[in-house]
Amino acid sequence: MGASWTPPRAPRGTADILPEQVHAWHRVERTAAELAERYGYRELRTPAFEALELFARGMGEGTEVVEKEMFLLAPSGRARVEAGPGEAPDAGPRAQAPAGGHGAGGAEPLALRPEFTAGVVRAYRQHGLDKTRGLLKVYSIGPLFRYERPQKGRQRQFHQVNLEALGTGDPRAELELIAFAQDLLGALGIPDFAVRLNSIGCAQCRPGYRERVRALLQPRRERLCANCRARLDRNAFRVLDCKLCAEHTADLPPMAEQLCAACAEHFAAVRAGLELLDVPYRIDARLVRGFDYYTRTVFEFPSGRLGAQDALGGGGRYDRLIPDMGGPELGACGLAFGIERLLLAMDPAATGSAAAEAAERARRAAAVYVAATPEPGPRAAALELVTELRRAGLEAEFDLAGKSLKAQLRAADKAGFGWVVIVGPEELARGEVALRQMAAGHQQRLPRAELLARLAPAVPLAARPAR
């Protein structure tokens, strides 16, 4: 044997989700999926990596995520990790792009997806759904990757529930999404639902506003943070979003007052719809969101239960993305919730280990433990029985750790199994088993052939195999 080797820990900003934590994840994922289906959204699964160019074009070259947070991929053999200055040992994510870049033997720079939207629009275009379907409502649930500085509610691998409605310019599409958000948070028991809402206009009305903001901020340039000084030249609009510079931008005119007639009408329809549905919302003139693709309506869902990263989710309309990806002039909108943040905002009683333990005990109460004495015959019989019970639709367990019969019985009792089947040499010779009903403390011998019929009432109907 070689020298002992300690494997590296999971990378910074990632987390293992252990079996006792998965219970809460299932609750969020299943609730979100069922609700999305009820709203007419169907699941779409796209790859976890795509061409880097897709994200650069989709989210915008100059956005924070594309500029600083992409995990680039290169095939092994050609990969060479470049650590940025002073970045060891937690080296940057940037592997050198395959030699030759575009067009070299089909090698194109690839990146792990930092969001779902760009990949969803790519799939919509690639499969011609813009032509055959027009409207497509899809949801996706899965991991995403951003090279951010990890903190509470911010990871490098995180997960989202994402919904997109492609091929519609109807303001009721945003309203449907916001109603979904309200229902999702309600179903997860997250209190104090509120929407932060803004309209950031379109290609007609935004450039004029951006120029105005730049002109107004130019004389205050030196008072802005370093980031915003750079943003002022590239996209003055983003300065509105900066918390550090809030006091210097407080008096700027809100975008929502500078909208063109069509955008103003759209925004009025969204607000009227929120009132119709009785959804609490607040106009936030500072809300611009971080990606270039947004047009008109943008929104976020804050929670007082989170720290500095207070957005449970966000989204908006992006009417230019389908045409910018070579498709027809069709509008679209979507939203995403961070699953880690939903879990942080949920009541610990619903997500903690006590809840997982209670759910586990409820399952075990209907489950069977097959205990056996240590001889080969009973051990083989236990394997056969446990398999038969499982195939009949019951949850069944047996010992794989070499425990004595006594220890097996103790373990079954401690875990809360509702039924224990015992096989020893004597039972085996007679073609029988002993069946103990744990709650009643009652034990009987019965022919092995009758076991399934005895246990069948414990099998939930849906789990019984169709015959």
Shortest approach of ligand HAM to residue 24 CB, angstroms?
Answer: 16
Nearer to ligand HAM, 163 or 458 (CB): 163
Nearer to ligand HAM, 263 or 336 (CB): 336
Tell me the torsion sign for CA atoms 456, 460, 465, 467.
positive
* Sequence-ordered list of residues with C-beta below 8 angstroms from that of 28, at least 6 positions apart, any chain: 161, 188, 339, 342, 343, 346
Shortest approach of ligand HAM to residue 201 CB, angstroms?
Answer: 17
Nearer to ligand HAM, 300 or 399 (CB): 300
Strands of 49-51's sheet in order across: 49-51, 110-112, 72-73
The rounded distance, in Å, linking the Cα atoms of 35 and 33 is 5
How many other CB atoms sit within 10 Å of the CB of residue 82? 12
Nearer to ligand HAM, 63 or 249 (CB): 63
Nearer to ligand HAM, 119 or 424 (CB): 119
Shortest approach of ligand HAM to residue 115 CB, angstroms?
Answer: 4
Pair of tokens at residue 281: 């919302």
**How many residues in total does the chain contain?**
467
Smallest CA-to-CA distance from 341 within 202, 191, 152, 171 is with 152
Shortest approach of ligand HAM to residue 216 CB, angstroms?
Answer: 27
Nearer to ligand HAM, 153 or 393 (CB): 153
DSSP tag of 239: G
Nearer to ligand HAM, 123 or 396 (CB): 123
Shortest approach of ligand HAM to residue 178 CB, angstroms?
Answer: 12
Shortest approach of ligand HAM to residue 409 CB, angstroms?
Answer: 45
Pair of tokens at residue 462: 């849906």
Nearer to ligand HAM, 162 or 373 (CB): 162
Shortest approach of ligand HAM to residue 317 CB, angstroms?
Answer: 8
Helix axes 171-187, 261-276, angle to 10 degrees: 40
The rounded distance, in Å, linking the Cα atoms of 331 and 134 is 10
CA angle 188, 16, 305 (to 5 degrees): 35
CA distances from residue 133 to 124, 127, 128, 165, 443 in whole angstroms, order as listed: 9, 10, 8, 12, 62
Pair of tokens at residue 173: 């599409």
- Binding residues vs ligand HAM (CB under 6 A): 115-117, 146, 148, 153-155, 158, 160, 162, 164, 311-316, 334-338, 340-341
Find where tokens 């002993």 sit.
434
Nearer to ligand HAM, 327 or 334 (CB): 334
Q: Residue 449, class by beta-carbon neighbours within 10 Å (0-12 exposed, 13-18 middle, 19+ buried)? A: exposed
Shortest approach of ligand HAM to residue 207 CB, angstroms?
Answer: 22
Buried b (16+ CB within 10 A) or exposed e, 185-217: beebebeebbbbbbbbbbeebbeebbeebbeeb
Nearer to ligand HAM, 61 or 275 (CB): 61
DSSP tag of 99: T
Shortest approach of ligand HAM to residue 194 CB, angstroms?
Answer: 14
Shortest approach of ligand HAM to residue 200 CB, angstroms?
Answer: 13
Nearer to ligand HAM, 185 or 412 (CB): 185
Shortest approach of ligand HAM to residue 338 CB, angstroms?
Answer: 2
Buried b (16+ CB within 10 A) or exposed e, 101-122: eeeeeebbbbbbbbbbbbbbbb
